[in-house]
Amino acid sequence: MFLMYALQAADISGYLTGAVMPKLTQGNLNKIEIKCPEIDEQRAIAHILGTLDDKIELNLKMNATLEIMAQALFKSWFVDFELWSGEKPVNWYESTLGQCVNIKRGGSPRPIQDYLSNSGLRWLKISDVTSLQIPFVLEIKEHIKESGLRKTVFLKSGSLVLSNSATPGIPKILCVDTCIHDGWLYFPVSLFSNEYLYLFFKHVRKDLVALGNGSIFTNLKTDILKNYVINVPDEQILQKFNEIIIPLFQTIENRARESVTLTTLRSILLPKLISGQLRIKDAEKFLESNI
């Protein structure tokens, strides 16, 4: 385990070969120099870093389980109608999504390269969420200049967005303020909670993508969503569902935030422990004061 962490901390850029697909040959791997403290210290370092990794992995698995539970509950209530013996309640009505939800598109200042910046307003890209395994966007790396604000859409934390191009049909709940380009849809007014809409979009994503069009990329035009036929539950049922599902989503968010903190602590400790700059007892005190 210590060797794995030592290699993660090592600068291997000078040992890579190949311009297009850099790789590390066995010969160059043998040339990488690492510090090797006494075996007991190696084990202690591996234990500290391994404990952080284990907690991050546990949070990831638990969040995945909680989301599966949320999706199963949504399907049970609003697709299979299991609480009502498989029959849609008579007081529910059929409508279109556009009659229940205000659907808007983001905007992009162009050419976007002229507005990208190292600071300013956050700029959410679809690539930021394609591999994101939780419902929430907690971090956004890119920014645009504030001068681009008049040509884009600025959303506050707590907004729900849905990708409508490139990789369409991905719903996410923002936990930070950000600007969104025209590859995103947002929903300023809705009869439904963010959590309900998130689960709804997850459930119907394949249907929406099948309805999309585009010569290169599938696009979810706003008319596709506006005309999508849905069943609208009564207000009491929606309230009961939210009472169950919102705390569950809050748990997912809290665990995700904890993982962000743990990942940051790990990135701080890894090079310092491997280099010997930080001793075991100091690392333990550091973790105690930051977790």
Whether the Cβ atoms of residue 188 and residue 104 lie closer than 8 Å to each other: yes
- pLDDT tens for the 291 residues of the chain, in order: 877 887 777 666 665 666 666 665 666 556 666 677 889 888 999 999 999 999 999 999 999 999 999 999 999 999 999 999 999 999 999 999 999 999 999 999 999 999 999 999 999 999 999 999 999 999 999 999 999 999 999 999 999 999 998 889 999 999 999 999 999 999 999 999 999 999 999 999 999 888 876 544 567 888 989 999 999 999 999 999 999 999 999 999 999 999 999 999 999 999 999 888 888 988 888 888 887
pLDDT on residue 35? 73
The residue count of the chain comes to: 291
- Contact between residue 24 and residue 16 where contact means Cβ atoms under 8 Å apart: yes
- Which letter, b or e, does each residue of 49-75 get, where b requires 16 or more Cβ atoms within 10 Å of its Cβ? beebbebbeebeeebeebbeebeebbe
DSSP the chain: -HHHHHHHHS--GGG-B-SSS-B--HHHHTT-------HHHHHHHHHHHHHHHHHHHHHHHHHHHHHHHHHHHHHHHHTS-GGGTTS--TT-EEEEHHHHB--EE----SSGGGTEESSSEEEE-GGGTTT--SSEE-----EE-GGGGGGSEEE-TT-EEEE-SSS---EEEESS-EEE-TTEEE-SSBSS-HHHHHHHHHHHHHHHHHH-B-SSS-B--HHHHHT-EEEE--HHHHHHHHHHHHHHHHHHHHHHHHHHHHHHHHHHHHHHHHHTSS-HHHHHHHHHHH-
* CA pair distance 83, 88, nearest whole angstrom: 9
Q: For residues 191 and 52, give the distance between their C-alpha atoms in angstroms, rounded to a whole number.
A: 41
Which pLDDT score, from 0 to 100, does residue 30 have?
60
Q: How far is CA 146 from the centre of its chain?
A: 25
Place of tokens 């599938």: 218
Contacts of 223 (CB under 8 A, 6+ apart): none
Whole-angstrom distance, CA of residue 151 vs CA of residue 111: 11
Whole-number Å distance between alpha carbons of 33 and 48: 22
Q: Is the dihedral of CA 43, 2, 11, 29 positive or negative?
A: positive
pLDDT at 212: 76
